[in-house]
Chain A
């Protein structure tokens, strides 16, 4: 070995060129994908800011030079959704009235059920869990007609409680799975320690497990809120015309045949409807991805 003084040799991190082949490929793909998905949004926004003459005479890709919020105001306040012309704001409140209780009730029930399945095994708990797992794979369309009859017999068909009940029930299998798997992943010794400390079924749940379950609660809320908000079918079937959620109202605005197509109003209404899930995506991106991953892998 030659005695090279340390100072003369290279040291520290090896310098890397910025433009390497893998990096160029990755960025090209990412930018193309982003452009592909952002382009429709761009068209929606600029169309919503144009007046109807501009839309009829111009190219849909060219931005407007005299932007106006008239279409937004109309979409919000006075667009016709079938018989009524009160805009999409009615739908917003209906959507909130449907989403909030369905989310809260389904998560409350699912978290307790998941906790029971994970930590308090009963005689047929494994069988129950298997049925739960299976029910995730049954297409929900097949259950709609029976549910219509059930809600009719209960006397709540075409009301707010009916659509809330249906959303709650359909949320339970996936939510219970999420919570069951999360609680099963917590160390069993923690549960044992709490029992030695004298905590009971509810004591362990509320004082030990719930404070540790913030991530899974966040994920469930995101999944439920976006899922219920984006729903169209249950809303149109079970809610009844006065309680139609935003998605159904949007459809009615777009499809109501009075005069020519008001594309600017349609676009504004669409963006307004998508705003809630969109906000949730942006605010809780990290948790949202986790939720998708949890739903995909763990089931």
Chain B
């Protein structure tokens, strides 16, 4: 009897130890970035788990650079526009794909799946050409356009699965009342689709906020860059050691909004990710 109890306690301790290990593994790098960003530059190279001195010098330094503020502004504009476009085109397309049976529907779905899978580098030179032809090189508008390649397929895919699950009677009632498909979408489905749109919008926002390859390739000057590129290219006056303090401060600044979004909307994000993958 005693031995069984002991085994039970050992099991519980082991279980909680594992949970603690997972938590530390997941959170520690971010935590370490936060404390590094708060250290004065004289303490930077001292390894410690809790800073003995701290100040906001690194933050003051990055926010005194107009190029960094500009990069945040660009990122915000790009991410919100991308979400808006993806949802607008996604909701109409998903109505067609989710509610109407027509020939070629599965082909369109297959094309969408294919586009979501192919590597960004594969279109890099062709897209570069398109962007230059449209005169959008070194312009956030070029990024907004190019980001639809990875946000749109995903949005359409997930919204279609949600759209399919809405009850048929709703639409029938609308058709009986003589509503056109456009009215059906805006008046009947849109109010019901908000949760799904919030989910896909969030995922599209995160994807656009984090994108690097296109942002690096299609912009040239500091004023047009987005935050990931700005952070990747941050380098100090010295060629030997990178300015780790400011880099960490900038990293924390761009990550905090995402971490807050994740904590508030974790349920939505999880359902969106699994809807995109499991049902897809």
> Do chains A and B stick together as partners?
no
| Chain B residues engaging chain A, CB cutoff 8 angstroms | none
